[in-house]
Amino acid sequence: MLRIAVIGTGRIGRMHAENIAAHPRAALAGVYDIHTPSAAETAEKLGVTRFDSAEALIASKDVDAILIASSTATHADLIEAAVAAGKPALCEKPIDLSLARVNACAAKIKGTSVPIMLGFVRRMDKGHAGVQAAIASGQIGDLHQVIITSRDPDMAPDAYMEVSGGIFRDMTIHDFDMARFMLGEDVTEVSATGSRLVKPGLMEKLGDYDTVTVVLKTASGKQAIINNSRRAVYGYDQRVEAFGSKGMAISENHAMTKVRLFNAEQTEAAPPLLNFFIERYDDAFAAEIGAFVDAVENGTTPPITFEDGRQALILAEAAIRSVAEGRTILTKDIG
Amino acid sequence: MLRIAVIGTGRIGRMHAENIAAHPRAALAGVYDIHTPSAAETAEKLGVTRFDSAEALIASKDVDAILIASSTATHADLIEAAVAAGKPALCEKPIDLSLARVNACAAKIKGTSVPIMLGFVRRMDKGHAGVQAAIASGQIGDLHQVIITSRDPDMAPDAYMEVSGGIFRDMTIHDFDMARFMLGEDVTEVSATGSRLVKPGLMEKLGDYDTVTVVLKTASGKQAIINNSRRAVYGYDQRVEAFGSKGMAISENHAMTKVRLFNAEQTEAAPPLLNFFIERYDDAFAAEIGAFVDAVENGTTPPITFEDGRQALILAEAAIRSVAEGRTILTKDIG
Amino acid sequence: MLRIAVIGTGRIGRMHAENIAAHPRAALAGVYDIHTPSAAETAEKLGVTRFDSAEALIASKDVDAILIASSTATHADLIEAAVAAGKPALCEKPIDLSLARVNACAAKIKGTSVPIMLGFVRRMDKGHAGVQAAIASGQIGDLHQVIITSRDPDMAPDAYMEVSGGIFRDMTIHDFDMARFMLGEDVTEVSATGSRLVKPGLMEKLGDYDTVTVVLKTASGKQAIINNSRRAVYGYDQRVEAFGSKGMAISENHAMTKVRLFNAEQTEAAPPLLNFFIERYDDAFAAEIGAFVDAVENGTTPPITFEDGRQALILAEAAIRSVAEGRTILTKDIG
Amino acid sequence: MLRIAVIGTGRIGRMHAENIAAHPRAALAGVYDIHTPSAAETAEKLGVTRFDSAEALIASKDVDAILIASSTATHADLIEAAVAAGKPALCEKPIDLSLARVNACAAKIKGTSVPIMLGFVRRMDKGHAGVQAAIASGQIGDLHQVIITSRDPDMAPDAYMEVSGGIFRDMTIHDFDMARFMLGEDVTEVSATGSRLVKPGLMEKLGDYDTVTVVLKTASGKQAIINNSRRAVYGYDQRVEAFGSKGMAISENHAMTKVRLFNAEQTEAAPPLLNFFIERYDDAFAAEIGAFVDAVENGTTPPITFEDGRQALILAEAAIRSVAEGRTILTKDIG
């Protein structure tokens, strides 16, 4: 049993805590949150220890590994602390909003044998992973284009948007990782287009965008196209399409149920899509815990690494610069 | 060029006339209808002769073959006349509402080498024919069950219903033929269930049903299940499913367009189904003319024979008796 | 917390035990199985008591309610024992293979206020329940036809088939309940057709069938059509279609993933269906525990009652007689 | 009856000729092709005059209107000749590979009242037009993103590729028009990415690309994303997706038949997509003739104008420049 403690007991942290508790080879070793009532509630509900500080949690001899689900600004510090304590960590994305901070963290933990895994949960989705497997197995031949459609059901509250780091670092970051997962080779060029269509006033004020398209290209010419919107009224739209020389594989959306309605106006109408990521990726979040436990127990590299987190942020930086400058950005010029 | 003349210029007859005119190896040789204005209008629109009688049409030296699309009561006489004149005929279903009359006709034309083809147009549909091909090629292994869903978009006017011959002879007749097409062996048992749900009053008055289920069984145990309704508000529902030891093949419905709509209430909503048979089976009606021309030109047996028409009627008789007697009817006891 | 103990720790019993343990308002109060090693393994894995007998389990003051997942022959006795002890029970289907035994059990527990719930889990499926809700809410108007397609991925071992009670009592029983759930009124007539196509030799020997069709009819004329096969190579086929005066609702199948493959031979190819019921109905099994807990806590009638179990068995008896006699059976003549 | 003569009797020209002949309010008034045997064969098959020159055809008093389906290099000259003769013309796309030549033609025919219609046939497709109607009617709210997937089933012969004008002018030109049809406002920015993945050697030699992505943006921020490939092994991939503030509308692909296959390896497998444009857009090509006849008869502006053809070419020029310069191109800087 791998005893994993959770830092951060917001909505995502609580879900992780429950998944750890339910995993047959993991045990929930306690929780901590800067907001004590939240931690206390989770600790009581799940019948585990509430630690008084992240430091105490990391240091505890009853804790084998750490799951970091606290606010983004704390991630890099906690990763460094976990590595220092020799304890494997599974960290929610992104590592940090600042590439400089990520690079500093990378330098600090360089060469460590302590497993650090990044929480790009979508790689654990059976549908998306199935598309990647179709690529890897050669079923669709040489990969030519990847199309990632990724739209949130609704924009987060304004207060969140103000500290989100902008759409590319906050939302597209998942899609950058998905593109890298599918492409299987380094992205060399990034072209991005941003629009303000959902909440133009707020976006203008923040210098942010709510509707973006990013085109990535690898050295061999493979293309990945990401389209994002902060608001899709029909639910959380999460599709991945991989097109190659011998075919195509698509990971389709998940509707709320498998019911189809027919009447005088329409046929085959399905309900809205699952809303939101905790529902849509529930299996994937559970599988993520399993993958982390496997890596730690087997001493293998986690399937999603710190470097994956850093590379996704490089693509975000390139996209931001591409929109600002109206030109294609070479990733070698970033970071 | 096969010169085909059309008897009966109602909606179906006119469509056949146009398909003949458009076929590269057929020519429309004229039309006749007991209702002269209808024939005159069609003759003028398509630039062909209007004959003064069915006899004159059949006898004409400018007519090589006959398409019979007049009212059901005339079919058997016209088939006999065509055979007597040595002219191939393509006859709309059913041959007659009376099995005795059909048997008499069969006796009269027995041994003729004049090709007589029955207009069970659905066999010519690419989807349904594709399912049959999947069975015939062994793709789904040994056939176990056939499920035919066949629902009209709406009931015909009461005046028609009164002379229709009842749902089994008038509507299910197509599905009996489809079942035979799929099963590939003789049906030995028929069990039918009838309900009055769409227009209970009228059905009661006519001793007819508007909602029926028929289960057919062959000597080897293959089953075919037909479900019919006289009214499906979402359009003309025409599905065929063949289930076997190695898989399943399904012929799906045709919606009006390939547009799918997503909004806050629903996703993937398609428009209603094509309505009605002339729209749904337009390709099949054109292919039917081609198959008739092929059979006549090549001297081969038409793909759908007089005997197919007779067998479908036997199943209709068995179904009628099954509902009346509340038991399974053996087809060998019919006719 | 409702403390539920589980009798029977075969595959289904273990799954129920895990679902009870995971439910926020239930606790697993122990297990018992006549096969001690199985019970011991489950007890150890889930950290609960292993009882030495069903009697001890039922009598225990630490047990509030019972889940019966032992072999069919024990169900009626255990229900009677639970009622005698005043403890609510959730019992796997069927109550018994003998209608006489079920009727005797019904007589014995008549008037009890102890909640007894039957495990017709499919009613708890979001898709099927969504179809039922579409009927109940009037979305599809007056119900006319229900089509239930229910095919197992493969036949159980011969040894099981020999004691299964036959396809109608063992397999179709679920579909009889589903039909009753959808129809919302009593079935008055049953017509069944049976074939031996999957394992003809074994079926012949057992006097059983592996491929059946059953048509049910209510007093008002509503029809339900069930088609069953003991082996569908593409997976567990579970579809429900409800057709009415204003439209249709369909509960579709669940494929293993949402991946679609396109290549030179085919497009939109999905993987096989989920296989088997524990995978396909995992959410429903969890919801079933929730519904039982709700009924017990709120003192309400369970959503699926003992009488539902008895009625389904009556339909099975009628189907058996219908096949044997080649005629429609009136349910009033059963039991 | 509008008497339309056809210039160019290659595969597309012949199809247009047949559609004209079949249209109830049009008549085929003759054909001409620089390759006399081709014109002679078509003239004989369809029973019409073969003209000796395009000039004679245009001048003929028996010709009311012209359909231009000859090679691209002749289009602008023929349009000018038709306008000079006061005869309406329906011209295949593109007007010319050179924007300068198109501009010169535009200047020459400026102010004419002779209807000139461009053959961007996809606007006539029921599916794509249905998506545009969903936008125009407000069904999906304010339009935010358009995604156009457009992949040919295979690359044309090398000889054709050498004179095609490059992928943007030859293939993407259709998608540029589709994007404009959907966006409903002027495109101001163009960003394009090109790769050589299907036939890298040939593409390198020609300075052309076979796999491209183009992102268009309007002044208000609406985005359109086009992805193209010269070879999709599963058939002619033609999808349009429009995403807006209140929903989404999608025009889906057309498979060869509506058959779905299920077996032990897969479920719901459909056949490959229709291949190629004459099959996929057959209804649209027929509707195009109808729209042309309507515009001429009613004296209304054709639904697709010369200026539409010119604007699509401007977008092609911008895309070419964007790839070459690695930056976003403003359309106001083109032409």
**Residue B24 belongs to some domain of the structure:** yes
| Contacts B263 to D, Cβ<8 Å | 139-140, 246-248
Residue where the block lists tokens 């590299």: A301
**Residue B286 belongs to some domain of the structure:** no
Secondary structure element (H or E) that encloses residue C75, with its range: helix C72-85
Task: Please give the structure tokens belonging to residue A222.
Answer: 């493979």
- For residues C276 and C192, state if they share a domain: yes
Shortest alpha-carbon distance between residue A269 and chain D (Å): 13
Write C59-64 long-range contacts (CB < 8 A, 24+): C59/C85, C60/C5, C60/C29, C60/C30, C62/C3, C62/C29, C62/C30, C63/C3, C63/C4, C63/C5, C63/C29, C63/C30, C63/C87, C64/C2, C64/C3, C64/C4, C64/C29, C64/C88, C64/C296
**Residue C296 belongs to some domain of the structure:** no
From CA D15, how far away is CA D23, in angstroms rounded?
Answer: 12
- For residues C54 and C177, state if they share a domain: no
Residue A281's domain spans which residues?
123-285+311-333
Predicted pLDDT at A32: 98
- For residues C205 and C267, state if they share a domain: yes
Percent helix / strand / coil, chain B, rounded to 5: 40, 25, 35
Shortest alpha-carbon distance between residue C318 and chain A (Å): 31
Residues constituting chain D: 335
**Residue C275 belongs to some domain of the structure:** yes
Q: What CA–CA distances, in Å, run from D115 to D58, D61, D291? A: 15, 18, 12
Task: Using alpha carbons, select from C61, C56, C113 the residue that is nearest to residue C88.
Answer: C113
Residues D133, D177 contacting (CB under 8 angstroms) = no
From CA C143, how far away is CA A197, in angstroms rounded?
Answer: 45
Task: Using alpha carbons, select from C241, C318, C302 the residue that is nearest to residue C119.
Answer: C302
Residues A199, A243 contacting (CB under 8 angstroms) = no
**Residue B187 belongs to some domain of the structure:** yes
Q: Tell me the residues of chain A between 185 and 204 that have a Cβ less than 8 Å away from chain D.
A: 189, 191, 193, 195-198
Measure the N-to-C terminal CA separation of chain D; round to a whole number of Å: 40
Contacts of D87 (CB under 8 A, 6+ apart): D58, D63, D64, D65, D66, D114
Of B253, B264, B272, the CB nearest to A266: B272
D268 near A CB under 8 A: no
Shortest alpha-carbon distance between residue D233 and chain A (Å): 6
Predicted pLDDT at D335: 73
D324 near A CB under 8 A: no
Predicted pLDDT at C210: 98
| Contacts A264 to C, Cβ<8 Å | 246-247
Residue type, C36: T
From CA B223, how far away is CA B144, in angstroms rounded?
Answer: 6
**Residue D297 belongs to some domain of the structure:** no
For residue D235, give the chain A residue with the closest CA. Answer: A247
| Contacts C273 to D, Cβ<8 Å | 267
Residues A108, A127 contacting (CB under 8 angstroms) = no
**Residue B293 belongs to some domain of the structure:** no
Q: Model confidence at C23, in pLDDT bands (50, 70, 90)? A: very high
- Maximum pairwise Cα distance, chain B: 66
- For residues A228 and A110, state if they share a domain: no
Secondary structure element (H or E) that encloses residue B133, with its range: helix B126-136
Between CA B44 and CA B49, with CA B47 as vertex, the angle to 5 degrees is: 80
Residues D49, D43 contacting (CB under 8 angstroms) = yes
- For residues A320 and A176, state if they share a domain: yes
From CA C101, how far away is CA C72, in angstroms rounded?
Answer: 12
- For residues A232 and A97, state if they share a domain: no
Q: Is D204 exposed, middle or buried (0-12, 13-18, 19+ CB in 10 A)?
A: exposed
Asked if B251's CB is within 8 angstroms of D262's CB, the reply is no
Determine which of A239, A266, A274, A280 to mutate to test the interface with B (most B C-beta atoms within 10 Å): A266
User: Count H helices, E strands: chain A?
Assistant: 13, 13
Q: Is A24 exposed, middle or buried (0-12, 13-18, 19+ CB in 10 A)?
A: exposed
| Contacts C253 to D, Cβ<8 Å | 267
Residue where the block lists tokens 């999608």: D250
CATH number for the domain that contains residue A215 = 3.30.360.10
Q: Is C53 exposed, middle or buried (0-12, 13-18, 19+ CB in 10 A)?
A: exposed
Contacts of C112 (CB under 8 A, 6+ apart): C83
| Contacts C246 to A, Cβ<8 Å | 263-264
Secondary structure element (H or E) that encloses residue B287, with its range: helix B282-298
Residues B27, B3 contacting (CB under 8 angstroms) = yes
Residues B170-198 pLDDT 10s: 999 999 999 999 999 999 999 999 999 99
The last residue of one of the domains, among C79, C114, C149, is C114
A264 near B CB under 8 A: yes
Map residue B225 onto helix, strand or coil.
strand
Q: What is the pLDDT along chain D (335 residues), one digit of tens a residue?
A: 999 999 999 999 999 999 999 898 999 999 999 999 999 999 999 999 999 999 999 999 999 999 999 999 999 999 999 999 999 999 999 999 999 999 999 999 999 999 999 999 999 999 999 999 999 999 999 999 999 999 999 999 999 999 999 999 999 999 999 999 999 999 999 999 999 999 999 999 999 999 999 999 999 999 999 999 999 999 999 999 999 999 999 999 999 999 999 999 999 999 999 999 999 999 999 999 999 999 999 999 999 999 999 999 999 999 999 999 999 999 999 97
Determine which of A149, A252, A268 to mutate to test the interface with B (most B C-beta atoms within 10 Å): A268
Predicted pLDDT at C335: 73
Map residue C119 onto helix, strand or coil.
coil
Residues B189, B225 contacting (CB under 8 angstroms) = no
Predicted pLDDT at D322: 98
Residues D5, D52 contacting (CB under 8 angstroms) = no
For residue A272, give the chain B residue with the closest CA. Answer: B266
Residues C143-162 pLDDT 10s: 999 999 999 999 999 999 99
CB D312: neighbour CB atoms within 10 A? 28
Asked if B268's CB is within 8 angstroms of A255's CB, the reply is yes
CATH number for the domain that contains residue D49 = 3.40.50.720
Predicted pLDDT at C334: 95
The last residue of one of the domains, among B114, B131, B151, is B114
The whole model's pTM is what?
Answer: 0.97
Determine which of D137, D239, D261, D273 to mutate to test the interface with B (most B C-beta atoms within 10 Å): D261
Determine which of A148, A190, A243 to mutate to test the interface with D (most D C-beta atoms within 10 Å): A243
Asked if B259's CB is within 8 angstroms of D134's CB, the reply is yes
For residue C211, give the chain B residue with the closest CA. Answer: B144
Name subunits touching C (3+ CB pairs < 8 A). Answer: A, B, D
Predicted pLDDT at B49: 97
Residues constituting chain C: 335
Residues D72, D316 contacting (CB under 8 angstroms) = no
- For residues A155 and A25, state if they share a domain: no
Q: Is D228 exposed, middle or buried (0-12, 13-18, 19+ CB in 10 A)?
A: buried
Residue type, A165: G
DSSP string for residues in A101-161? HHHHHHHHHTT--S-EEE--GGGG-HHHHHHHHHHHTTTT-SEEEEEEEEE-SSPPPHHHH
Asked if C234's CB is within 8 angstroms of D266's CB, the reply is yes
D150 near A CB under 8 A: no
**Residue B291 belongs to some domain of the structure:** no
Shortest alpha-carbon distance between residue B14 and chain A (Å): 29
Pairing of strands B211-218, C247-251: unpaired
Name subunits touching D (3+ CB pairs < 8 A). Answer: A, B, C
- For residues A90 and A227, state if they share a domain: no
Q: Tell me the residues of chain D between 21 and 50 that have a Cβ less than 8 Å away from chain B.
A: 22
- For residues B73 and B195, state if they share a domain: no
Q: Does the predicted interface ipTM exceed a cut of 0.85?
A: yes
Q: Residue A55 pLDDT > 80, yes or no?
A: yes
Task: Please give the structure tokens belonging to residue D297.
Answer: 């008869």
Residues A277-323 pLDDT 10s: 999 999 999 999 999 999 999 999 999 999 999 999 999 999 999 99
Shortest alpha-carbon distance between residue A276 and chain B (Å): 14
Task: Please give the structure tokens belonging to residue C317.
Answer: 């008896």
Map residue B15 onto helix, strand or coil.
helix
Residues C182-239 pLDDT 10s: 999 999 999 999 999 999 999 999 999 999 999 999 999 999 999 999 999 999 999 9
- For residues B106 and B40, state if they share a domain: yes
B/e letters for A243-276, b = 16+ CB within 10 Å, e = fewer, are bbbebbbbbbbbbbbbbbbbbeebbbbbbbbbbe
For C37-173, where are the E strands, in sequence order? Answer: 65-68, 89-91, 116-118, 143-151
Secondary structure element (H or E) that encloses residue C18, with its range: helix C11-22
Q: What percent of chain B is modeled with pLDDT above 70?
A: 100
Shortest alpha-carbon distance between residue B138 and chain A (Å): 26
D127 near B CB under 8 A: yes
Residues A222, A179 contacting (CB under 8 angstroms) = no
Task: Using alpha carbons, select from C92, C81, C90 the residue that is nearest to residue C58.
Answer: C81
Residue type, A64: D
Q: What are phi and psi of C310, to 5 degrees?
A: -70, -45
From CA D242, how far away is CA D289, in angstroms rounded?
Answer: 27
Size of interface B-D (CB pairs under 8 A): 85
Domain total of chain A:
2
Q: In chain B, which residues have pLDDT < 50?
A: none
- For residues A280 and A180, state if they share a domain: yes
Asked if C261's CB is within 8 angstroms of A249's CB, the reply is yes
Asked if D139's CB is within 8 angstroms of B261's CB, the reply is yes
Shortest alpha-carbon distance between residue B108 and chain C (Å): 36
Residues constituting chain B: 335
Map residue C258 onto helix, strand or coil.
coil
CB D134: neighbour CB atoms within 10 A? 26
Predicted pLDDT at B335: 73
The last residue of one of the domains, among B47, B81, B114, is B114
| Contacts C22 to A, Cβ<8 Å | 22
Measure the N-to-C terminal CA separation of chain B; round to a whole number of Å: 40
Task: Using alpha carbons, select from A280, A172, A188 the residue that is nearest to residue A228.
Answer: A172
From CA B157, how far away is CA D274, in angstroms rounded?
Answer: 39
Asked if D225's CB is within 8 angstroms of A151's CB, the reply is no
- For residues C69 and C198, state if they share a domain: no
Q: Is A109 exposed, middle or buried (0-12, 13-18, 19+ CB in 10 A)?
A: middle
Residue C253 is given by DSSP the state P
From CA A288, how far away is CA A128, in angstroms rounded?
Answer: 14
